């Protein structure tokens, strides 16, 4: 299968080794749209709180694992 410019592949949460992931990756892992996560961050209403690094949102991998109950 050929990957187009609009398709992005993210590693599974089990193999993710970065301490944080971007909004698009976190949304993919949670099965939500990126804008939903941005709303969570803006209104502080979601189950996770992101870090803000240089004006960008970063979602802790450990928090994602805990929420999704991944070992």
Model pLDDT for residues 9-55, shown as the tens digit of each residue? 899 999 999 999 999 999 999 999 999 999 999 999 999 999 999 99
Is 5's pLDDT higher than 60? no
3 pLDDT tier (thresholds 50, 70, 90): low
Strand order in the sheet with 51-53: 20-21, 56-60, 51-53
- DSSP SS3 for 54: coil
Domain layout of the chain by residue ranges: 26-68
What was the pLDDT predicted at 8? 77
Q: How far apart (Å, rounded) are the C-alpha atoms in residues 6 and 50?
A: 25
């Amino acid at each position: 299968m050929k990957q187009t410019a609009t398709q992005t592949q993210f590693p599974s949460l089990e193999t993710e080794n970065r301490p944080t992931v971007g909004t698009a990756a976190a949304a993919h892992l949670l099965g939500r749209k990126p804008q939903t996560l941005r709303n969570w961050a803006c209104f502080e209403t979601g189950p996770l709180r992101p870090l803000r690094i240089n004006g960008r949102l970063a979602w802790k991998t450990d928090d994602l694992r805990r929420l999704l109950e991944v070992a």
